[in-house]
Amino acid sequence: MTPKLKKSLLYWLLLSPLCVVILLPFGIMFVTALRPRDELFVYPPTWTFSEFRWENFAEMWVKTNFGGALLNSLYVSLTSTIIAIVLSIPAAYALSRYRFSGKGLYRNFLLMTQMMSPIVLVLGLFRLMVHLNLVNSLNSLVVTYVAFNMAFTIWMLQSYFNTIPRELEEASWIDGATSFTSLVKIFLPLAVPAMVVTAIFTFINSWNEFVLALTLIRSQNDYTLPVQIFSQVAGRYQVEWHHVMAATVLATVPVAIVFSWLQRYLIRGMALGAVK
Amino acid sequence: MKSRTRIPTTPLLMILPSFLLAMSIIGYPILDLAWTSMQEVSRFGKMMGFVGLVNFAEVFRDPLFYSSLVRTVIWTVAVVGGTLIISLPIAIMLNDDFYGRGLARVIVMLPWAISLTMTAVLWRWSLNGRAGLINATLMDFHIITEPIEWLATAPLAFTVEILVGILVSIPFTTTIFLGGLSSLPQDSYEAAVVDGAKPWELFRYITLPLMKPFINIAIVLNVIYVFNSLPIIWVMTEGGPANGTDILVTYLYKLAFRFGQLGKASAISLIMFSVLFVFTIAYVLMVMRQEHDSADEEVKHDA
Amino acid sequence: MASVTISGVEKWFGTLQILHGIDIDIEDQEFVVLVGPSGCGKSTLLRMIAGLESISDGEISIGTRMINDVPARDRDIAMVFQNYALYPHMSVFDNIGFSLKLRKRSKQEISEKINEAAEILDLTPYLERSPRQLSGGQRQRVAMGRALVRDAQVFLFDEPLSNLDAKLRVVMRTEIKALHQRLKTTSVYVTHDQIEAMTMADRIVVMNKGRVEQTGTPMDLYDFPANLFVADFIGSPSMNFIEGIVAADNEGPFVMAKDRTRLAISRESSAALGQKVVYGARPEHLVLASGNEGFDATIEVIEPTGPNIQIFADVAGQRICALSTERRTHKPGQRIRLHCPETSVHLFDASSGARI
Ligand SMILES: Nc1ncnc2c1ncn2[C@@H]1O[C@H](COP(=O)(O)OP(=O)(O)OP(=O)(O)O)[C@@H](O)[C@H]1O
Ligand SMILES: [Mg+2]
């Protein structure tokens, strides 16, 4: 046996308990989503079931108003991602390319906002939205998600911008480009991958947010997915677990796939910025 | 000074929009909370007049506040401690080259991709006393003979929640460690191997000291995140049974949005804010010191 | 093409002064090399000519036009960067043609010019490649090509060869010089490599700590360094220095080193008796002597370089270097006599460092 193979076996052995614990609930999610309703509560509980009930998904879609919640989630996540990126690009560019007084202060300010969690401020935020007449409006979520994500997006963009050599822009100025041409023809094309990656992470953050969505949205029609699914579970005597699990499958699997595909960028970002 | 540099307005204009937004969405609520915490507030959010520190006094007389506080400390210490102890060896393994590393990375990172709410819903169902498949699995392996009601009693429910808390904190922490490990100088390892160091000694004398800044940052960030984490406990037990799994955030949420005790809730928010603030300052100082160190290194490198 | 006039130029970064009043006149068609140790401000000065750094004080003109407030794109200069700064998302063809495209030249003119430049630089087979797919030397050539198509008034180079290996550097050095002889574009070339400076320059400007130490042709600087810094900086291996006091006896004036070693100097020297001085002799001027000419030295290390043998020896407690072409075998520990003809001796005032 080669040393590498030996090492691999050892590592997988060490990692397996964690992997099992991580994957187990997903397995449970799938087998629950697919089993007939009357096989949910059998004693003793078992993994096996009589048939694959794909209809569960269709039923769930109608009964839980999944489509509506999906649209709400999409609206909130897309809008807040776009706004966050649009506001963050100039700020990240300034941090990466200019020296100016107050730069250090601004970076520390961003760090502070990143640390402030929605939950501690949730009461104040709720009252703010009441003042602005935004309670029950999805836009209240958009605004707050942008604000709470901005530190992350600026930091992430900045650490990528720093890897684009400043000389490229200088060379283009000497070649006769205006600042604007240089930005459009040289800088932005090179920054596209960074912007896409950052946007996707922001999207996932917004997609998964719970506390603010639970607090600022009061009417069932405007629930986002996490709140909608939670509302199927919380405070009910009769929970339709097969529907809940079917909804969870639809809400998590696409995001998990995209995230898995992108996680190495996050690690690289950490290495670049060393968690700054 | 002879400098004729123009006052750079461009960068200031570029950071202005993000600054204003953060100020109004994050700054204003803090002021509002401070204001509300010193008011008598009706159930419906109406200010009934200035009462000074009465709300704070009430908070400090409240036994539920203290039990939540104690549980918050247990929750934070247990989750952060557990996460760190598990994450460091995992990061070291994932940083090493072995067959299937890509797959292992994806699995370990998976909980990060799923919202805490969904994870908590999944576990709530998996741990269901009557039909939960965790019980089924344990019974299949003859570890237990009877189904266990995992979430029905507070101590057991709280323990389970801590374990789930650890599980969801591992990906982020591992990512920080992986970033740190990949920035460690390879030549120190080679030098140590040449000097005859064994794997354990490499870890003890090279990895651990060099990783210290990253471990510190992981501790502070995790403390902040875990201290603030609502969804797991909220979704799995809503602080129950009988307030037995309440931590400060769940208690605060109940006070504000169930019992309508806005003054008291603001006071707790403010107390939590101050705790957070201390940790945030610690974090900022830590990051600044690290930047300072690396700046020093660059200068030395140049010379 | 045009002259470049730099007068009284200063640069401040905040409260930190980097350039302390620089005056350089660069003539039309001249190839001027700025040389100096790392951090002395060469790049900063070049970037000020290019318009990439603001000018804190003083004036820079190209031709008769004062350009202090002209943005980089309107200065009509071309620049080759140290890391080449090739646009990674454009092909070699587009990299070279970018400036022409910005100036809205016709498609046909652009491709003619690019092909012409590619021909000169041997880049024709690589025009469709992206910069990533080129070797270091080829990238360097693309950067040159980008400057070539411009017909700019002035070429600026910031250490364009420092990322190449030693052999390629020598080749490219000659190519750049040949190119200049052909195009005759006024050029300012920054390097910290004094051999590059010597071989390429019409005129060298030696800088140190934000000041100009000396300006002159390579041979001027070599033969008549204005001060200790230039004497030390120009020439490789560098000049030997021995401290001492000016004295005289019946054989003529000499410098007395610490251990009373007698170092002969020219009768015409204007050094005053008793003056503290530094005696300088280039390694290639130190010859093995016989009889009582010259001074005693003890060989410490011998290093053959091929054409020469470098002899490191102890003179008056200091290690000096002499070049010998003789194949005769010397041994460490051996005592020899070294001699430097009086006319080749350089004398500097010990306190000011200025040439005597
Ligand atoms: N933006 C800046 N702010 C502050 N100081 C700077 C800045 N840019 C350069 N300097 C300082 O100015 C001095 C001169 O820098 P410059 O790049 O001109 O040196 P150089 O002669 O080109 O050196 P090298 O040969 O290493 O390239 C250095 O001490 C540098 O630290
Ligand atoms: Mg330089």
Q: Reduced to 3 states, what is the DSSP secondary structure of residue C53?
A: coil
Predicted confidence band of residue A271 (pLDDT cuts 50, 70, 90):
low
Assigned domain for B5 exists: no
Dist. CA C210 → ligand 2 center (Å): 12
Q: Which residues of C touch B2 (CB under 8 A)?
A: 10, 12, 17, 56-57
Interface probe, candidates C46, C62, C99, C132, chain A, greatest A C-beta count within 10 A: C99
- Ligand 1 contact, C12 CB (< 6 A): no
- Residue C273 in contact with residue C261, Cβ under 8 Å? no
What is the distance between the alpha carbons of residues B155 and A95, in angstroms, rounded to a whole number? Answer: 48
C71 and C189 in a single domain? The answer is yes
Q: How confident is the model at residue B303 (pLDDT cuts 50, 70, 90)?
A: very low
User: Residue C316 maps to which CATH number?
Assistant: 2.40.50.140
Q: Which residues of B256-282 are buried (b: 16+ CB within 10 A; e: fewer)?
A: beeeebbbbbbbbbbbbbebbeebbee
Identify the three-state secondary structure at position C300.
strand
Where helices occur in chain C by DSSP H, the ranges are 42-50, 92-102, 107-120, 136-148, 166-183, 194-200, 218-223, 228-233
Q: What is the predicted pLDDT for the residue at C107?
A: 93
Out of A144-148, B13-17, C27-31, pick the least confident: B13-17
Co-location of C120 and C215 in the same domain: yes
A229–B118: do the CB atoms touch at under 8 Å? yes
Please report, for residues C229, C237, C303, C317, the alpha-carbon distance to residue C322 in angstroms, rounded to integers and kept in the order given.
Answer: 20, 9, 10, 15
ipTM score: 0.83
Q: At what angle do helices A138-161 and A118-132 cross, to 10 degrees?
A: 130
Token look-up 């409006």 returns A137
Considering the domain boundaries, does residue B211 fall inside one? Answer: yes
Residue B216 lies in a domain: yes
State the sign of the Cα–Cα–Cα–Cα dihedral C53, C54, C59, C61: positive
Over residues A89-136, the pLDDT tens digits come to 999 999 988 888 888 888 888 888 877 788 888 888 998 998 888 888
What is the rounded average pLDDT for all residues in chain A? 86
Task: Please give the domain boundaries of chain A with CATH numbers for all domains.
Answer: 56-166+197-274 (1.10.3720.10)
Which range marks the domain in which residue B162 is found? 37-295
Number of domains in chain C: 2
Pair C188, C105 in one domain:
yes
Atom of ligand 1 nearest to the CA of C42: 21
Question: pLDDT tens across B58-95, in order?
Answer: 888 889 999 999 999 999 999 999 999 999 999 989 98
pLDDT at B191 over 90: no
DSSP letter, residue C354: B
Chain A residue with the nearest C-alpha to that of C150: A175
Nearest CA to CA, how far is C56 from chain B (Å)? 5
Structural domain harbouring C25 = 4-225
Q: Which residues contact residue B194 at a Cβ distance below 8 angstroms, ignoring those fewer than 6 apart?
A: none
Is residue C43 lining ligand 1, measured as CB closer than 6 Å?
Answer: yes
Same domain, C173 and C254: no
- C interface toward B at CB cutoff 8 Å? 10, 12, 14-15, 17, 38-39, 54, 56-57
The neighbouring-strand residues paired with C249 are C252
Q: Position B47: which residue type?
A: M
What's at B132, amino acid-wise?
Answer: G
The β-bridge partners of A151 are none
| Residue C270 three-state SS | coil
CA distance B186 to chain C (A): 24
The residue that leads in pLDDT, B51 or C52, is C52
Nearest-angstrom CA–CA distance, B75 and B134: 23
Q: What is the mean pLDDT of residues B38-50?
A: 75
Question: What DSSP designation does B206 have?
Answer: I
| CA atoms within 13 A of residue B69's CA, in its CB half-sphere | 13
Nearest chain A alpha carbon to C158: A167
Is residue B21 assigned to a domain?
Answer: no
On whether both C179 and C256 belong to a single domain, the answer is: no
Residue owning the nearest CA to atom 31 of ligand 1: C39
Residue C42 CA to ligand 2 centre (angstroms): 6
Residues of C with Cβ-Cβ distance to B4 under 8 angstroms: 54, 56-57
So what's the pLDDT on residue A276?
Answer: 34
The CA C80 to ligand 1 mean position distance, Å, reads 18
Give Cβ neighbours of residue B190 (< 8 Å, ≥ 6 apart): none
- Within-domain flag for C308: yes
How much is the average pLDDT of A257-267? 77
Q: Scanning every residue of chain A, which has its alpha carbon at the shortest distance from the alpha carbon of C99?
A: A175
Is B147 a domain residue? yes
CATH number at residue B48: 1.10.3720.10
In terms of phi and psi (left: phi > 0; alpha: psi -120 to 50; beta: otherwise), the region of C291 is left
Q: How far is the CA of C210 from the centre of ligand 1 (A)?
A: 10
Q: Which ligand number lies closest to the CA of residue C44? A: 1
In a domain, B197, yes or no: yes
| CB neighbour list of residue A161: distance below 8 Å, 6 or more residues apart | A92, A93, A96, A97, A191, A194
Given C225, C252, C268, the domain boundary residue is C225
| Beta-carbon separation of C57 and B4 below 8 A | yes
Query: What is residue B3's predicted lDDT score, i.e. its pLDDT?
Result: 41
**Domain's final residue, options C170, C201, C225:** C225
pLDDT of the residue at A89: 92
Q: Which of residues 118-157 of A touch B (CB under 8 A)?
A: 119-128, 130, 143-144, 146-148, 150-151, 154
Q: Kindly list the distances between the CA atom of residue C315 and the CA atoms of B254, C258, C343, in Å, as whole numbers in the listed order.
A: 89, 10, 20
Say yes or no for a CB contact (<8 Å) between A127 and B36. Answer: yes
Of C228, C207, C230, the C-alpha closest to C41 is C207
Residue C272 has what pLDDT?
87
The DSSP symbol for C348 reads: E
C200 touches C189 (CB < 8 A)? yes
List CB contacts (< 8 A) between B235 and chain A.
Answer: 230, 233-234
Confidence at residue C114, expressed as pLDDT on a 0 to 100 scale: 94
Q: Tell me how many residue pairs between chain B and chain C have CB atoms under 8 A apart.
A: 20
DSSP state of A45: -
* Residue in C10, C17, C54 nearest the CB of B5: C54
**CB-ligand 1 contact for C11 (6 Å cutoff):** no
Distance C32 CA to ligand 1 centre (A): 20
Give C11 to chain B, closest Cα distance, Å: 8
Question: Is the residue at C355 inside a domain?
Answer: no
Residues 47-76 of B with CB under 8 A from A: none
Chain A residues within 8 A of C87 when measuring between CB atoms? 168, 171-172, 186
- For residue C289, give the amino acid letter: A
Question: CATH number, domain at C78?
Answer: 3.40.50.300
- One domain, residues C180 and C302: no
Q: What is the average per-residue pLDDT within A162-177? A: 90
Cβ–Cβ below 8 Å for B15 and A90: yes
Q: Which residues of C touch B5 (CB under 8 A)?
A: 12, 54, 56
Asked if residue C94 and residue C153 are part of one domain, the reply reads: yes
Find the Cα–Cα–Cα–Cα dihedral B159, B164, B168, B174, rounded to 10°: 60
Question: Do strands C203-208 and C186-191 pair parallel, antiparallel, or not at all (unpaired)?
Answer: unpaired
Assess whether the C-beta atom of C41 lies below 6 angstroms from ligand 1. Answer: yes
Residue B175, classified by CB atoms within 10 Å of its CB into exposed (0-12), middle (13-18) or buried (19+), is: buried
CA–CA gap between residue A233 and residue B128 (Å, rounded): 12
What is the residue with the minimal CA distance to atom 8 of ligand 1?
C44
pLDDT band of residue B109 (cuts 50, 70, 90) is confident
- Kindly give the distance from the C-alpha atom of residue C217 to the centroid of ligand 1, in angstroms, as a whole number: 26
Residue C356 in domain: no
Q: Domain count of chain B?
A: 1
* A55-99 residue pLDDT tens: 888 888 888 888 899 999 999 999 999 999 999 999 999 998 888
Chain C residues in contact with A170 (beta carbon < 8 A): 50, 52, 72, 79, 81, 85
Sign of the CA dihedral C142, C144, C149, C152?
A: positive
Residue B300 included in any domain? no
The answer to whether position C135 is within a domain reads yes
B225 touching A (Cβ < 8 Å): yes
| Domain termination residue (choose one: C225, C255, C275) | C225
Which residues of C fall within a CB distance of 8 Å from A173?
Answer: 51-52, 71-73
Do C140 and C199 touch, CB atoms closer than 8 A?
no
Q: Given the DSSP bridges, would you call strands C335-339 and C295-304 parallel, antiparallel or unpaired?
A: antiparallel
User: Are residues C284 and C187 located together in one domain of the fold?
Assistant: no
With respect to residue C106, please indicate whether it lies within any of the assigned structural domains.
Answer: yes
Structure confidence at residue C65 (pLDDT): 92
Question: Does residue A275 or residue A256 have the better pLDDT?
Answer: A256
Pairing of strands C309-315, C287-288: unpaired
Interface test with A, best of B117, B175, B223 (most A CBs within 10 A): B117
Residue B290 lies in a domain: yes
> What residues have their beta carbon closer than 5 A to ion ligand 2?
C 43
Are C285 and C193 in a shared domain? no
Q: Give yes or no for residue A269 having a pLDDT over 80.
A: no
Nearest chain C residue (CA) to B1: C15
Q: Which residues, other chains included, contact A219 with Cβ-Cβ below 8 Å and sequence gap of 6+?
A: A136
What is the H or E stretch that residue C43 is in? helix C42-50
Q: Pick the residue whose CA is nearest to atom 2 on ligand 1.
A: C13
Q: Give percent of chain A above pLDDT 90.
A: 29
- Which of A92-106, B18-32, B207-221, C27-41 has the highest average model confidence (pLDDT)? C27-41
Please say whether the beta carbons of C153 and C2 come within 8 A: yes
For chain A positions 65-94, those within 8 Å of chain B (CB to CB) are 87-88, 90-91, 93-94
Q: What token pair was written down for A180?
A: 């604007």
Contacts 24+ apart (CB under 8 A), A183-186: A186/C87
Q: Are residues C67 and C128 in the same domain?
A: yes
Place of tokens 């063809």: C93
Q: Comparing C-alpha atoms, which of A12, A102, A61 is closest to residue A250?
A: A61
pLDDT by 10s per residue, chain C, length 356: 689 999 999 999 888 999 999 999 999 999 999 999 999 999 999 999 999 999 999 999 999 999 999 999 899 999 999 888 999 889 999 999 999 999 889 999 999 999 999 998 889 999 999 998 898 889 999 999 999 898 899 999 999 998 888 888 898 899 899 999 998 999 999 998 889 999 999 999 999 999 999 999 999 999 999 999 999 999 888 999 999 999 988 888 999 998 888 898 988 888 888 899 999 999 999 988 877 788 889 999 999 888 888 999 999 888 999 998 887 778 888 898 999 998 899 999 999 999 98
Cβ contacts of A263 on chain B, cutoff 8 Å: 105-106, 109, 112-113, 175
At residue A18, φ and ψ (nearest 5 deg) are -65, -45
Q: Note the pLDDT of residue B262.
A: 86
Same-domain pairing of C69 and C187: yes
Is the pLDDT at B301 greater than 50? The verdict is no
In a domain, C231, yes or no: no
Q: How far is the CA of C38 from the centre of ligand 1 (A)?
A: 8
Ligand 1 atom closest to the CA of C11, numbered from 1: 12
Distance C88 CA to ligand 1 centre (A): 26
What is the structure's pLDDT at C136?
Answer: 87
Q: Indicate if C174 and C277 belong to the same structural domain.
A: no
CB contacts < 8 A (A, B): 307
Distance, in Å, from the CA atom of C227 to the CA atom of C348, rounded to the nearest integer, reads 7
